[in-house]
Structure 1
C-alpha cells in the first residue's frame, strides 16, 4: 500500500479536471481525495497499489477534455502506522 500526494499544474481548474480525476481513481479502486488549491493547481492524495497509482499518474497528463497539464509533482507520503491510511476509505472531491 502506497500513499502519494500529487500537485498538478496547468489549466486544471474550471475544466472538469477534479470530476475526471475522481472517476478515474474510483475506476482504478484507489482511495483518497482531489481538490482545487488557491494557487490554481489541483492537489490529490491517492492511496493504493504502486502499479495502479503509476497508471493513474500517466493518465493525469491527459486529463479532462479542456485541461492542459504542464507539470505533476509527486511526493510519497510516509505512513508511520496503518491508522493514517485507514482514514481514506473511498475517493472524493474536497471543496
Structure 2
C-alpha cells in the first residue's frame, strides 16, 4: 500500500503487530492509520449492513432495475426516518 500511495484505513490486527515485532528490524514499519477515513468507512459499512437486512436488496430478486432502485430508495428513506425518530 505504501509503495502505491494508498492510505491505510483498517487498523492492524494484534497478531500482525506481534508478528512484526517478533521479526525485529526485518518486520518493517507499522502502517500509519488515518482515523478520519476509518470513521467514514465504518459509517458506510454499517449503512450497507442495514440495507442487506432487506432480503430483496441483498439477493436482488427484482427483474427491472427501476424496481430495484425504488426498493433501495425506500430502504434509505425508512432508515433515515428511523434515525430521525430518535432525535428530540
Please state which band the TM-score falls in when normalised by the shorter chain. Answer: under 0.3
TM value normalised by structure 2:
0.27
TM-score normalized by the length of structure 1: 0.25
| Higher strand fraction (1 or 2) | 1
Whichever structure has more helix as a proportion of its residues is 2
